[in-house]
C-alpha cells in the first residue's frame, strides 16, 4: 500500500507535468484543469500516506553497481514534508489559475511546478543519498527555471542563475557526503548510518557532517549563502510561496534534522549549526526592517525563520524545529499568496507605492493579518506555539548568548511584520488606482491556509507521535497536544519571549519617539541596506572568475606558432616530471 502511494505521490505530478506540456499553450483551460487535477491527486495520495508510515524500506529498486539500491522509506519526517509539498503545491497551483491568467508559455510554468512537486516529494521520501541528491538537483533546476520564468527580464535571469549556482555549489557538499557514505559502507542507504553512526570512520563522518551543513545552508539560504533567496523573488509569486517559502528551502532543514542523530556526536558540529542559524536569523531580520520591496521583506523573514529551525536543530530540538517548519510553511505560504494577490492587483512590489489597501481588499487584509500575527509569534496562532518551542529548546540546551540573539530577532520580527502590514494595508493611500480583491481561485487557496495558520497548532500531539513512531533514532517523545500547550505555557521562556515581542510592538508604535535610537543605529541600517556586504562578496567572486576567464582567453592567441609552442611546453613539462619522479 505504502509503496503504491509513494509511486503516486512522486509519479502523479510528473505525469501531470508531461500532460500539461503536451497539451500545448493554445489550450490554457485544459492546462489549468490538468495541473489542478494532478497536484490535488498527489496531495490526496500524500495525505493517505500519513496513515501508512513506518520506518522500514518500502520500495527497493536495484540500479546496480555504483548507483546502489534506489530505496524509499515512508517515515514520519518524510511523509509530513511530502504532505506539505503536495498540499501547499496544490494550493499554489489553484492560486495560479487566477494569478497566471493570460500569461504566455503557461505550459512551461505548470510543467515546472508539477515537476517540482514530484521532485520535492521524492527528495524527502527516499532513503538513498544518491537519489536524494538527484531530487535535490531536480528541485534546484525547477527553482531556477521558475525564477527565470520571465526571462525577458535580465534581473529574473540573473536571479535564477544565481540561485542555481549557489544551490549547486552547496550540492557539492551533499555530493561529497554521498560519495563518502558509499565509499565507506558500499551503499547509499543513510538509515544504516543514522541507526549506527559508528560504522563510519569518525574523520569521514565529520567530513560528511560539514558537507551536509554546507549543502543545507545553501539550499535553505542560510548564512553565508543567504543572498540568493531575495533575488529569487523575481519568480511569479505562487512560486515564491511554494518553492521559496514552504518547501524547497526547507530541504536544508530537513537534511539537518534527518541526519541529526548521526552527526550530533561530531565535535563542533552542533555549535556550527547553532551559529549558522543564529547569524541568519538576526542578520536577515535586520535587513527585513529596511527593505521596501514587499516580497523581499517576506524573503528576508523566510531566511530568518529558517534560521530559527536550524538553530533548534543545533540545540537538539528536532521536534521543535520540524513543528516550526510545519507552522512556517502554512503562514508563510499564506503571506506570500496574499502578497501575490496584492501585487497582482496593484501591479508593483514596492510597499511605498501601496498603503490603505485594506478597504479595497478586505479579505486579503484579513488573511494577511492572520499570517502576520502568526509570523510575529502572537498567541494563539500556530507561529506562537512553534516559535516558543524553538526558544525553549534554545534556552535549555543552547548557549545563552545564542538564545539572547534569537530573542532579539523575535522582537525584530514583530517590528518588521507590523511595519509591513501597516505600509501595505493601512496608512495613507499612495495611488489613486482602483484595486480589486482576491479573485475566486485565489480565495480557494487563501482561506484554507488562513484556517491552517489559526488552527494547525492543534496537531502538535499527533505530529509528535507521527515522528516518534517511525523515527527511532531521533528520540522524539510522543506527547499530546495538551502536554505541549502546558509545557509552553509553563515555561518561563514563553513569557520572556512574549515580553520581547511586545517590546518590538511597542517600539513600532512609538517609532516617532525613537528617532534618536534609529539615528544611533544608522550605520546598522545602512549596512543592512547593503545586505552586510554579502552582495559585494558575491559580485567580487563573479567578477574574479569572469576576469580570470577573460585573461585566460589571451592564451588562445590564434597564432599557429604559439600553438606549436604549447605542444613543446607540454612535452618539456611532462618529460621533466617523469625524469624527476623516475
Partner 1 sequence: MLNALIAAGIILCAIQAIRVKKLIAAALWLAGCSALTALMLYLLGAPEIAVIELSVGAGLVTVLFVFAINIIGDEAPVRMPAIPPLVAWLLVILSFGTLAYLNLPLLEIEVPTLVTIPMAASSIWEDRALDVILQIVLIFAGVLGIINLISDNSSRESKA
Partner 2 sequence: MTAQTALTLLLAIPLGAAPVIYLAGRIALKTRVKSGGASARILAVLALLAAMVPLYYAAMHFTSTGPLTLDINRISLQMDGISLLVALTALILGLCVTFFSTKYMQNDEGEEKFFALLMIMIVGIIGLVCATDLFNLWVWFEVMAVSSYLLVAFYRSQPDALEAGVKYLVQSATGSVFILLGIALTFAQTGVLNLHEIRLAVSAGGNSPIILSASVLMLIGFGVKAALVPLHTWLPDAHSQAPSGISAMLSGIVIEAGLVALLRSTGAVIVSHTTWGYLIMAFGALNLLVGNLMALRQTQVKRMLAYSSVSQMGYILVGIGVAVYTLQPEGAAGGFFHVITHSLMKGAAFLAAGALLYALRMAHHNHEPLTVSDLDGASQRYPVTAFFLAVALLALGGLPPLAGFMSKWQIFVAGFQSGNSLAIALVIFAAINSVLSLGYYAPLVNRMYRHEPSDLVKEGKPISWVMVLPLVIMTVAIVALGIWPPLVRWLTTPAAMSLLAIFGG
Partner 3 sequence: MTTIPYIDMLTVMIVFGIGLYTLLITRNLIKVVIALQILVKAGMIALVLAGRINGQVMTGQSIALTVIVADTIVAVIALALAVQVKKHHGTVDLDKLRNLKG
Positions touching partner 2 (CB under 8 A) are 63-67, 104-105, 108, 130, 133-134, 137-138, 141, 144, 148, 151-152, 157, 160-161, 164-165, 168-169, 171-172, 175-176, 179-180, 182-183, 545-546, 548-550, 552-553, 555-556, 558, 560, 562-564, 566-567, 569-571, 574-575, 577-579, 581-582
Which of 400, 490, 549, 568: binder of partner 1 (CB under 8 A)? 568
| Alpha carbon distance 32, 11 (integer Å) | 19
CA atoms within 13 A on the CB side of 157: 4
Which of 1, 455, 489, 572: binder of partner 1 (CB under 8 A)? 572
In whole angstroms, the minimum distance from the beta carbon of 251 to partner 2 comes to 15
In whole angstroms, the minimum distance from the beta carbon of 581 to partner 1 comes to 14
| Alpha carbon distance 316, 11 (integer Å) | 34
Judged by beta carbon distances under 5 to 8 A according to partner kind, the member of partner 1, partner 2, partner 3, none in contact with residue 554 is partner 3
In whole angstroms, the minimum distance from the beta carbon of 555 to partner 1 comes to 13
In whole angstroms, the minimum distance from the beta carbon of 114 to partner 3 comes to 42
- What is the DSSP-derived secondary structure letter of residue 62? E
Judged by beta carbon distances under 5 to 8 A according to partner kind, the member of partner 2, partner 1, partner 3, none in contact with residue 172 is partner 2
Place of cell 541568519: 280
Which of 167, 136, 161, 165 lies closest to 147, judged by CA?
Answer: 161
Judged by beta carbon distances under 5 to 8 A according to partner kind, the member of partner 2, partner 3, partner 1, none in contact with residue 580 is none
Under 8 Å between Cβ of 160 and 233: no
Establish if 569 lies at the interface with partner 1 (CB under 8 A): yes
* Residue number with CB closer to partner 2 (80 or 182): 182
* Residue number with CB closer to partner 1 (548 or 567): 567
Establish if 169 lies at the interface with partner 1 (CB under 8 A): no
| Alpha carbon distance 561, 196 (integer Å) | 62
* Residue number with CB closer to partner 1 (536 or 565): 565
Within 521-560, which residues bind partner 1 (CB under 8 A)?
A: 559-560
Q: Exposure pattern of 128-160 as b/e (b: 16+ CB <10 Å)?
A: bbbbbbebbbbbbbbbbbbbbbbeeeeebbebb
| Alpha carbon distance 396, 398 (integer Å) | 6
Establish if 579 lies at the interface with partner 1 (CB under 8 A): yes
Establish if 580 lies at the interface with partner 1 (CB under 8 A): no
Establish if 571 lies at the interface with partner 1 (CB under 8 A): yes
For the chain, the residue count is 582
How many of the chain's residues bind partner 1 (CB under 8 A)?
12
Within 298-357, which residues bind partner 1 (CB under 8 A)?
A: none
Place of cell 551536509: 212
- N- to C-terminal Cα distance for the chain? 64
Report DSSP letters for 72-134, one per residue.
Answer: EE--HHHHHHHHHHHHHHHHHHHHHHHHTTT-S-HHHHHHHHHHHHHHHHHHHHB-BHHHHHH
Under 8 Å between Cβ of 5 and 74: yes
Under 8 Å between Cβ of 470 and 55: yes
Binding-site ranges for partner 1 (CB under 8 A): 559-562, 565, 568-569, 571-572, 575-576, 579
Amino acid at each position: 500500500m505504502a509503496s503504491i502511494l509513494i509511486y503516486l505521490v512522486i509519479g502523479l505530478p510528473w505525469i501531470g507535468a508531461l500532460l500539461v506540456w503536451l497539451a500545448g499553450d493554445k489550450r490554457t483551460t485544459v492546462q489549468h484543469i490538468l495541473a489542478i487535477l494532478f497536484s490535488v491527486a498527489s496531495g490526496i495520495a500524500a495525505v493517505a500516506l500519513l496513515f501508512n508510515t513506518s520506518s522500514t524500506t518500502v520500495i527497493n529498486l536495484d540500479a546496480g553497481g555504483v548507483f546502489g539500491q534506489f530505496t524509499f522509506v515512508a517515515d514520519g519526517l518524510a511523509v509530513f514534508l511530502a504532505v506539505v509539498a503536495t498540499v501547499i503545491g496544490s494550493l499554489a497551483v489553484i492560486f495560479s489559475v487566477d494569478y497566471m491568467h493570460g500569461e504566455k508559455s503557461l505550459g512551461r510554468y505548470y510543467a515546472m511546478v508539477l515537476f517540482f512537486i514530484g521532485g520535492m516529494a521524492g527528495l524527502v521520501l527516499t532513503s538513498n543519498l544518491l537519489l536524494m541528491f538527484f531530487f535535490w538537483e531536480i528541485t534546484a533546476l525547477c527553482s531556477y527555471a521558475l525564477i527565470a520564468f520571465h526571462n525577458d527580464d535580465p534581473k529574473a535571469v540573473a536571479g535564477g542563475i544565481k540561485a542555481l549556482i549557489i544551490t549547486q555549489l552547496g550540492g557539492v557538499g551533499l555530493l561529497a557526503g554521498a560519495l563518502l557514505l558509499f565509499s565507506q559502507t558500499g551503499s547509499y542507504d543513510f538509515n544504516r548510518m543514522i541507526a549506527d553512526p559508528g560504522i563510519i570512520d569518525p574523520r569521514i563522518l565529520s567530513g560528511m557532517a560539514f558537507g551536509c551543513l554546507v549543502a543545507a545552508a545553501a539550499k535553505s539560504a542560510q548564512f553565508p549563502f543567504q543572498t540568493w533567496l531575495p533575488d529569487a523573488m523575481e519568480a511569479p509569486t505562487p512560486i515564491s510561496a511554494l518553492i521559496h517559502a514552504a518547501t524547497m528551502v526547507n530541504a536544508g532543514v530537513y537534511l539537518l534534522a534527518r541526519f541529526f542523530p548521526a552527526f550530533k556526536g561530531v565535535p563542533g558540529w552542533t555549535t556550527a549549526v547553532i551559529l549558522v542559524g543564529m547569524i541568519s536569523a538576526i542578520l536577515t531580520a535586520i535587513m527585513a526592517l529596511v527593505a521596501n520591496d514587499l516580497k523581499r521583506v517576506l524573503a528576508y523573514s523566510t531566511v530568518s525563520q529558517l534560521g530559527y529551525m536550524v538553530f533548534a536543530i543545533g540545540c537538539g530540538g528536532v521536534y521543535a524545529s520540524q513543528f516550526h517548519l510545519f507552522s512556517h510553511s502554512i503562514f508563510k505560504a499564506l503571506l506570500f499568496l496574499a502578497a501575490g494577490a496584492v501585487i497582482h492587483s496593484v501591479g508593483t512590489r514596492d510597499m511605498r507605492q501601496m498603503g490603505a489597501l485594506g478597504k479595497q481588499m478586505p479579505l486579503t487584509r484579513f488573511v494577511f493579518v492572520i499570517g502576520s500575527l502568526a509570523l510575529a509569534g502572537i498567541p494563539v496562532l500556530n507561529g506562537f506555539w512553534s516559535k516558543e518551542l524553538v526558544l525553549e529548546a534554545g534556552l535549555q540546551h543552547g548557549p545563552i548568548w545564542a538564545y539572547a540573539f534569537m530573542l532579539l530577532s523575535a522582537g525584530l520580527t514583530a517590528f518588521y511584520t507590523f511595519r509591513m502590514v501597516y505600509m501595505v494595508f493601512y496608512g495613507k493611500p499612495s495611488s489613486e488606482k482602483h484595486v480589486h480583491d482576491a479573485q475566486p481561485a485565489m480565495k480557494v487557496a487563501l482561506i484554507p491556509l488562513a484556517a491552517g495558520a489559526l488552527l494547525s497548532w492543534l496537531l502538535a500531539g499527533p505530529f509528535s507521535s507521527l515522528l516518534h513512531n517511525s523515527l527511532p533514532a531521533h528520540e522524539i517523545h510522543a506527547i499530546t497536544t495538551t502536554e505541549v500547550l502546558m509545557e509552553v505555557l509553563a515555561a518561563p521562556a514563553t513569557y520572556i519571549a512574549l515580553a520581547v515581542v511586545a517590546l518590538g510592538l511597542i517600539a513600532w508604535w512609538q517609532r516617532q519617539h525613537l528617532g534618536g535610537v534609529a539615528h544611533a543605529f544608522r550605520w546598522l541600517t545602512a549596512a543592512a541596506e547593503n545586505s552586510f556586504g554579502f552582495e559585494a562578496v558575491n559580485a567580487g567572486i563573479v567578477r574574479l572568475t569572469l576576469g580570470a576567464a577573460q585573461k585566460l582567453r589571451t592564451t588562445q592567441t590564434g597564432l599557429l606558432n604559439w600553438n606549436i609552442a604549447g605542444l613543446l611546453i607540454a612535452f618539456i613539462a611532462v618529460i621533466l616530471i617523469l625524469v624527476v619522479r623516475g
